[in-house]
Amino acid sequence: MTQTMAVAKALNESLRKALENDPKVLIMGEDVGKLGGVFRITDGLYKDFGEGRVIDTPLAESGIVGTAIGLALRGYRPVVEIQFDGFVFPAYDQIVTQLAKMHARALGKIKLPVVIRIPYGGGIGAVEHHSESPEALFAHVPGLKVVSPSNSSDAYWMLQQAIECDDPVIFFEPKRRYWDKGEVDVAALPGDLHRAVVAQQGTDVTLAAYGPMVKVCLEAAAAAANEGRSLEVVDLRSLSPIDFDTIEASVRRTGRLVVVHEAPVFYGAGAEIAARITERCFYHLEAPVLRVGGFHAPYPPARLEEEYLPGLDRVLDAVDRALAF
């Protein structure tokens, strides 16, 4: 039952499976219906499931999320697409003050099984507001679960698990990985949605990453191996909650940790990971926990984005600094 799929196709098949399995699952967003989404993630679903379940909405993110909250209150499982990362902010109030808090406000009597899909990150040569990495803003909010797949298999299974979850899930999709292909076992039993995995074993330094940066870290591990260095790569997969146990186990083996993400380093997810692992692994660390990420500056024009985005050289430079201690 193993198939080769691009990440975009895996997401499409995952949505199709969810629509088939549960008549309460709805898809809604800008151009998700007849067009099939700007990245064609919902391609063919409008034709096969109809306008009552794959719904083209107005250009109004706050209204889209507010409507999804109302539908969830009536027993539906809405899957919202935010067309681009930078477009989510008009809906931020609905997400933070309503979606994230309703369960606690109702003392557990109300559940809001809403998934908000957000294509995020750079690397596609887009214009302003189309290459943001706002995941830390959502991971900071209690009541939200935040996840990001890095490969086709996780894209397929994690999206279905998010849809089945009774809590609101912000599902960040690394858009520059949409066309990367990988193996998907559609008959497998998926693991824990919020469990990190060791993507590659190593002994000298742990690289912890998620979403688009996992591939960069695997490339860094391959390059380091040519120099006789062994890097372990941990794919975090989930940012809220974070599986600190898996990171800790890896750091206890390697003694060094470099956290890599595309978002700015300043107040990024790496800061929380660095602080927590320093507390939990203080006597096992051979070097300070280092972070690699974007600069604390607005995302640049397309011609400069390769200078902004963390790449192989910046990751390997951090590895060198960690090993120098």
pLDDT at res. 161: 98
Over residues 186-212, mean pLDDT: 96
Last residue of a domain, one of 185, 205, 234: 185
pTM (two decimals): 0.97
Last residue of a domain, one of 185, 212, 237: 185
Q: Give, for 46, the enclosing helix (H) or strand (E).
A: helix 45-49
pLDDT tens digits for range 195-205 = 999 999 999 99
Q: Is pLDDT at 1 greater than 90 in this prediction?
A: no
Residue 191 lies in a domain: no
- Tell me the percentage of the chain whose pLDDT exceeds 70: 100
Q: Is pLDDT at 34 greater than 90 in this prediction?
A: yes
Asked if residue 204 and residue 168 are part of one domain, the reply reads no
Average pLDDT of the residues of the chain: 97
Decide if 130 is catalytic: yes
CA dist., res. 315 & res. 231, Å (int):
11
Catalytic, out of 103, 129, 130, 261 = 130
Range of the domain at 63: 2-185
Last residue of a domain, one of 138, 157, 185: 185
What beta strand segments (E) does 112-265 contain? 115-120, 145-147, 169-174, 181-185, 197-200, 205-209, 231-235, 238-240, 257-264
Q: Give, for 78, the enclosing helix (H) or strand (E).
A: strand 77-81
